Amino acid sequence: MGNQVERLTHLSYAEVPTAEPAGTEPGPRIGVSYIFSVDEDDELGEEPVAGEVGPDRRSAPGGDREHERDKEEEGGGGGGDRDRDTYDLLNEVECSVYYRDQCIYEKRRRAGRSAKGDGQELLTPQPAEILLGRCQPGDLVEFVAAGQCPHWVVYVGDFQVVHLHQAEIRNDFLTDASQGRRGRLVSQRYRFKALPADAVVRAALQQVGVRGAQLRWSSSECFAAWCRCGRREFKVGGELRIGKQPYRLQLHLSEHSSHTLEFQSLHDLVLEKRRNDQIGKVALIRELAAHLHGDEQQRTDHPHPH
């Protein structure tokens, strides 16, 4: 059985595990505090999910910051052909993102769970060839595979996309950018007002060829979302960190339990969200359970003096 925890526990960032799997976006997990809530009848770590994605599925360690980002943008080492048919939709981490009290992003499994009922449910990934018949210029596409960070691209028409890959903004055919992974449309994931389709395409094409130190985005998701919405929050250093934590990442672990993290910037939040996407729901639940158990054991071993 899992560990029964308090209904509400607020942890400081210094008390939480900070190790990141190799191959994820670089950068420290800063400006974040953790809140965990769970229904008293729901035990953490006991939700059965098939197709566990654990630490042994992570990519081999990278070198410097740019090399680690390159591996993430490659999709964790080019294993898409192997993983595309074994991708477990039930192991995806459902989450919502809030700026103060406004929901600005949502990924949920069932349409009825969305507060607005606006189609934010998880969709079964499709082969790239099928997506070609559904994409319109300006759409965002997310490619997924087990044990990898999702890879986002901007569809610009004529079967082509623009995306951040290997520390460079590239223009490729959608089928090539997929690297054998399945994908789905995610244009509505971020709830910011979208630019007109021609402006989205123009913003993406204008960045083709930008690479290395000139890049202002740390992940394919941040670049694609910036093209779609034009907001500086998706750029590295786009927001000042002034001590406040206005962003919240709510992880929906089961019907009655959730885990909330607070961040100083949207950029930091996206890094953590994508780390969770890579390790999967099962591994994330076990990580949280292990930490909460260790924290409880520490309080038992070192009781506060009366």
Whether the pLDDT of residue 226 is over 80: the answer is yes
Split at pLDDT 50, 70, 90, the class of 68 is very low
pLDDT in tens, 84-103: 457 899 999 999 999 999 99
Residue 1 belongs to some domain of the structure:
no
The residue ranking higher by pLDDT, 305 or 84, is 305
Which of helix, strand or coil describes residue 192? coil
pLDDT in tens, 193-215: 999 999 999 999 999 999 999 99
Residue 238 belongs to some domain of the structure:
yes
Distances 259 to 38, 158, 236, 282, 292 between C-alpha atoms, Å: 8, 42, 26, 14, 12
Residue 15 belongs to some domain of the structure:
yes
Count up the domains in the chain and report the number. Answer: 1
pLDDT at 12: 36
Split at pLDDT 50, 70, 90, the class of 302 is low
Residue 135 belongs to some domain of the structure:
yes
The H-or-E segment that residue 223 falls in is helix 220-229
pLDDT in tens, 42-65: 333 333 323 333 333 333 333 344
Q: What is the DSSP letter of 59?
A: P
The residue ranking higher by pLDDT, 59 or 234, is 234
- Burial class of residue 11, CB neighbours in 10 A (0-12, 13-18, 19+): middle
Which of helix, strand or coil describes residue 157? strand
CB 110, CB 149: distance < 8 Å: no
Share of the chain above pLDDT 90, in %: 57
CB 289, CB 2: distance < 8 Å: yes
* CA separation for the pair 109, 114 (Å, rounded): 9
pLDDT at 288: 87
- Burial class of residue 44, CB neighbours in 10 A (0-12, 13-18, 19+): buried
Split at pLDDT 50, 70, 90, the class of 295 is low
Residue 275 belongs to some domain of the structure:
yes
Residue 242 belongs to some domain of the structure:
yes
Split at pLDDT 50, 70, 90, the class of 112 is very low
pLDDT at 241: 80
Residue 3 belongs to some domain of the structure:
no
Residue 2 belongs to some domain of the structure:
no
The CATH number assigned to the domain holding 138 equals 3.90.1720.10
Question: Which domain, by its residues, includes 174?
Answer: 8-301
